[in-house]
Amino acid sequence: MPATIPQPRPWRQRPAPAPGYRLASAAFLLLGVSACSFAPEHARPALPVPAAYAPAAVPGDSVARTGWQDFFRDAELRKLIAEALANNRDIRIATARLAEARAAWRIEGAPLYPQLDAVGAGSRGRSMINLPGAGATAMDVEQVSAQLSASWEIDFWGRLRNLKDAARWQYLATEEARRAAATDLVAQVANGYLLERHYEERAALARQSIATREESLRILRRRYEVGSGSRLDMAQARILLAQAETALHALEQERAVNRNALALLVGRPVEFAAGGLSLANLPQDIALPAGLPSDLLMNRPDIVSAEHRLRAAEANIGAARAAFFPNISLTGAYGTMSSELSGLFSGGSEAWTFSPSLRLPLFDAGRLKGNLGVMRARREQAVAEYERTVQSAFRDVSDALVQRQQLRSQIRTTGEMLEAQQERARLAQLLFDNGRSAYLEVLDAQRDLFDVEQALVQLRRAELASIVSLYAALGGGFADRQPFETSNTDGDQNS
């Protein structure tokens, strides 16, 4: 029986994929390849500060989550702060820098997308052509064209995307820098307002002392005129009065300088109603939980800005590394071309070009390697600046905590001293009136009492200023991200 030869199985041809499917597959492949990045992975540097503040802060969440509108309870102060945020020139400069950084982010993101241009061109000229048997002949040449031109650099290695990320982090760093400037402005306005109340209260005490000493001088002069007093007592009373008047003049001068500083911060001349300004009317017993030092990394704007700059430096390293690899670009044009303008859109005038290109750096005398070295050095600078910013912030918080704790003790001690000085001045005056002591003792007692009264007001102002300093050191002011708008950090600025 003859052997049977096995027949091959019939081959079935699969249907060819649709052109749209092939185009989509190619696009996904390009996007997948271009998603790679040579930027170093970000890791927040270790906290170069102790794990807790010294002295220990009030337990609880950081006060940085409290907005300045809720923290400052004085209506007049809140009004001044709002005007300063709206009118201050430093804030305007910071806002303009933020707009510049945002525009730079948009510029760096544009090359990730194809660039499309409409190009119209025309040329006309004359050239000499040698024709066989006719010799040299002049010929006029005219050409017009209208095309759509497209170009696209395929970001295989992530160079363009890293440049966009660097611009994005710089924009976010600029935004936090503006927020830091605003927080500092809030603290400056608050301190200026405290100084205004401080000078007003001290000036009121000085005026009260002047009135009392004028009355004492009048009485002593009358005693001298009737022969029951001495000229020395009258001279000492004059000295005491002159000292109070000199102190008042100095306070008025310092107050005027402080108002000029407030006018610069607020953006307009600042006026306050006479009287009614007293530090005693301001809330002083404010609980200020500082949280942990790690809270500063998220709440304090200058630290957040320094970390954003670090991430920008890391993205620039990725772009510098990608520059060592081949660069692939696609360029094409489609349109019409004719030797006459009237025939530009007639049949048969279609023209197109497509020119892919690949560029691989072979020798550049170390330019690419030097650029990578520059970016690495800038990253090291950014790390050191970040750590220094954290250390400075930790010191600011610790100093404010120490000041507040120590100032409370000083205020308590000075208050007790004031009561003792008041009793001493009363007894000295009583003894002098009864002829049992010289006026020199009254002079010394009144001088010491005046100094203690002034010192107590200064300490109260310093305590309130330490509260403001602690609030600013913790990053407070704009916990609700107002009045500044937040940006969508993951959004595309090119849309």
What pLDDT, in 10s, does the model give residues 3-12?
A: 433 343 443 4
Averaged over 397-426, what is the pLDDT? Answer: 90
Is it the case that residue 355 has pLDDT exceeding 50? yes
Is it the case that residue 169 has pLDDT exceeding 60? yes
Q: Are strands 115-131 and 135-154 parallel, antiparallel or unpaired?
A: antiparallel
**Which stretch of DSSP H or E encloses residue 99?**
helix 89-109
Tell me the per-residue pLDDT of 426-461, one tens digit each, with 9 for 90 and over. Answer: 999 898 888 888 888 888 898 899 999 999 999 999
- pTM, two decimal places: 0.79
- The DSSP 8-state label assigned to residue 336 in this structure reads E
Peptide bond just before 114 cis, omega within 30 deg: no
Say if CB 446 and CB 31 are below 8 A apart.
no
- Nearest Cα to Cα of residue 393 among 294, 494, 289: 294
Question: Per-domain residue ranges for the chain?
Answer: 38-124+152-326+367-473
Query: Which whole-number Å values give the CA distances from 289 to 53, 60, 229, 423, in the listed order?
Result: 11, 5, 60, 39
Tell me the per-residue pLDDT of 307-344, one tens digit each, with 9 for 90 and over. Answer: 999 999 999 999 999 999 998 999 998 888 876 666 66
CATH number for the domain running over 38-124+152-326+367-473: 1.20.1600.10
